[in-house]
Amino acid sequence: MYSIGELSRRTSVKVPTIRYYEQMGLIDTPERSEGNQRRYARSDLERLAFIRHARDLGFTIDAIRQLIDLGDHAERPCADADRIATEQLVSVRTRIAQLRRLEAELARIATCCTGETIGECYVIRALSDHSLCESEHSHAASGGTNLALESPEPQALKHQIHKRR
């Protein structure tokens, strides 16, 4: 049996997070010692390691709950687990595309600045005036475009920018 502190150390999950997972029903309510301390079994340690790994891969609490439920029924086909993993992969690829757009725009802004003073600084102007940006990169921006092939490298961007001047 493990205390909550020991469980935390072994899994690198903070104590408040372990309590949160209990409240969310991802971990069973643990037994209590005579001193009313939580006591966790080996199965709780394994479950928490599973949750931690799934969170590291970006799965939502709801997806983790579904995966745990699937894992508790070894005889079921794995199509549902595959679907959940595929949905997460699509989400990760969407975020990567968003980050690539952000990277390209930041590289463009950073290389456009030729000002000697803040009064002439393109970085400050671009951050103050969104219309100076060439791509959509708001936090809420989404889209399925794979920009891996479309995003030029910073050196290519710099070359393109100098050609525009």
> Does residue 35 contact residue 1 with C-beta atoms inside 8 Å?
no
Domain boundaries, the chain: 4-71, 99-164
Residues 71-120 have pLDDT tens digits of: 989 899 999 999 999 999 999 999 999 999 999 988 888 888 777 888 77
Q: Look up the pTM and report it.
A: 0.68
Region 4-71: CATH code: 1.10.1660.10
In total, the chain counts a number of residues equal to 165
Q: Using alpha carbons, select from 30, 85, 79 the residue that is nearest to residue 63.
A: 85
